Structure 1
């Protein structure tokens, strides 16, 4: 087994994290012209990379980023922290509760209300006042070095949009509504379209497949789609 095969999870995680970092560094220096579509396209790219940070942290919660447990936790902690100072140790038990009690009153990701009520509940469960304070401090430090519009457009806005992306494609669509009695994971799954599945949420639209085989990393999840 060569190095890449043995450490593919770590390599892919590093590519996601480094892509986010280099993209952000470039965009913070980039002169923004609001009268062209280019900056708005870059907002979407950065949003996708933010989502990738959380998906990487998510895979670490399932222990599938690295076979080395300490390295797996380090990568998960780093990826979660880069995404608006999320706390990996706080997220870990909540995510496993979601898997154990999916779509029940004990599921921290589930809410029986409408979309907006559910989204507010989702944010309330995952955003802490400590994160907000750290984000405010970081924003004020970054704008001392970079143009404020770049910081807002490429550091702050994509983090907010990625939260919505993760909720909509990774929680709301898969778990809303009624589920058949035979659906033991109480999860919907999107129609097979690997390109859209990757763009929308790193294949987590294939949500039944994820709940059925949580040990499969995101970059192999498409293989489980029959």
Structure 2
């Protein structure tokens, strides 16, 4: 019989990411910023990584693997984590992401664009960034100024969300799906070389993208195992 931890690993990992994001953000909003200190820029990178973790958690919820067998809990966690990432709306992301899996790298794929990096990113942004999000971000920015220094808000709340958006797009959409793929590549997806540390740092193993499309029921923290299996290193 599985232990409680084994049964609820996805939820525990999601809560750890949520807690780390909220705790560090709260600390950094109160922190005295020094632009001469390398710790400031390291803090921005760590917050960027945690923002990426929020979205990856929401993504896993779309596949029902944060809380397997509990659709309601998956939706709740997905809604919270997507919302904390610049007010993304889970109910809007969910159908678009499943269209991506169903029609990968075709005209019906909302994530796909045949142009260069910048045109592709603009197409991607039009699909997922809404006026309501921008207004909510602007309103929250002005509200946060009542309690926190402007430089802290920009450095640790706004900039990491923007950087994480580019990170998710580059490693999770552009790199895996750009260019031509072999006819027998049914997922029209490439994959990063096997380097688990870099794969985690770059995008929570989503550079192992063929593996994700091949087995979308695997949570992000198991993708490295599938990479090992396909590489003959299991």
> Given the two structures, how large is their TM-score scaled by the length of structure 1?
0.99
- Matching residue within 137, 141, 147 for 1:135: 137
* 1:125-161 deviation per Cα after TM superposition (whole angstroms, max 9, x unaligned): 1000000000000000001100000000000000000
Tell me how far 1:37 sits from its aligned partner. Answer: 1.0
Query: Equivalent residue for 1:120?
Result: 122
- Taking the aligned partners of 1:39 and 1:78, their CA distance within structure 2 comes to 27
Query: Equivalent residue for 2:36?
Result: 35
SS at match of 2:48: helix
Query: Equivalent residue for 2:58?
Result: 57
- Taking the aligned partners of 2:117 and 2:82, their CA distance within structure 1 comes to 25
- Taking the aligned partners of 1:177 and 1:90, their CA distance within structure 2 comes to 28
Tell me how far 1:2 sits from its aligned partner. Answer: 1.4
- Taking the aligned partners of 2:75 and 2:15, their CA distance within structure 1 comes to 14
Query: Equivalent residue for 1:99?
Result: 101
Where in structure 1 do 4 or more consecutive aligned residues deviate above 6 Å? none
Unaligned runs of 5+ in 1: none
Where do residues 1-40 of structure 1 align in structure 2 (5 Å cutoff)?
1-40=2-41
Where do residues 1-226 of structure 1 align in structure 2 (5 Å cutoff)?
1-67=2-68, 68-225=70-227, 226=231
Q: What count of residue pairs does the alignment treat as equivalent?
A: 226
Tell me how far 1:43 sits from its aligned partner. Answer: 0.3
SS at match of 1:145: coil
- Taking the aligned partners of 2:24 and 2:145, their CA distance within structure 1 comes to 17
Tell me how far 1:22 sits from its aligned partner. Answer: 0.4
- Taking the aligned partners of 1:162 and 1:117, their CA distance within structure 2 comes to 18
- Taking the aligned partners of 1:204 and 1:20, their CA distance within structure 2 comes to 20
Unaligned runs of 5+ in 2: none
Tell me how far 1:198 sits from its aligned partner. Answer: 0.1
